[in-house]
């Protein structure tokens, strides 16, 4: 399957712990996006990369959140000192530069106890 993949699919953690998610985009896509989706809502933009450069960050992305895409391929999203309000589905998407369509992965569901 050559779609966007995300790992893990589910993560349960205790408040205050750090968590890291991984996203592998479609191989020829140079743009990679992170979104967050809470129950009953649409996805909200967090940040995006073009190759290895992080070009935009939402105000939703507090300083406890950090994202990297070191070699312009896979990306990681780390949340430090998790809070219950961080519980959500974290979605990754990728696209060709300036293409309209973004292809979404299955998401990582985070539950913070």
Partner 1 sequence: GDSVTQMEGPVTLSEEAFLTINCTYTATGYPSLFWYVQYPGEGLQLLLKATKADDKGSNKGFEATYRKETTSFHLEKGSVQVSDSAVYFCALRGSSASKIIFGSGTRLSIRP
43 near partner 1 (CB under 8 A):
yes
CB of 41 to partner 1, least distance (A): 5
Give the separation between CA 19 and CA 34, rounded to whole angstroms.
15
Answer for which of 8, 12, 56, 113 binds partner 1 (CB under 8 A) is 56
28 near partner 1 (CB under 8 A):
no
DSSP string, 11-71: EEE-TT--EEEEEE--TT--EEEEEEE-TTS--EEEEEEETTEEEEE-TTS-TTEEEE-TT
Q: Mark 81-110 with x for binding to partner 1 (rule: CB under 8 A) and - for no binding.
A: ----------x-x------xxxxxxxx---
Answer for which of 45, 72, 76, 87 binds partner 1 (CB under 8 A) is 45
Pairing of strands 44-50, 103-104: unpaired
1 near partner 1 (CB under 8 A):
no
């Amino acid at each position: 399957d050559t779609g966007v993949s995300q790992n893990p699919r589910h993560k349960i953690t205790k408040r205050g712990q750090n968590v890291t998610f991984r996203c592998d985009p479609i191989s020829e896509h140079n743009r990679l996006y992170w979104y967050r989706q809470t129950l009953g809502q649409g996805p909200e933009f967090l940040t995006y990369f073009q190759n290895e450069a992080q070009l935009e960050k939402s105000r939703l992305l507090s300083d406890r959140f950090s994202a990297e895409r070191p070699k312009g391929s896979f990306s990681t999203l780390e949340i430090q000192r998790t809070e219950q309000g961080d519980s959500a589905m974290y979605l990754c998407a990728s696209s060709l530069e300036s293409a309209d369509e973004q292809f979404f992965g299955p998401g990582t569901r985070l539950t913070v106890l």
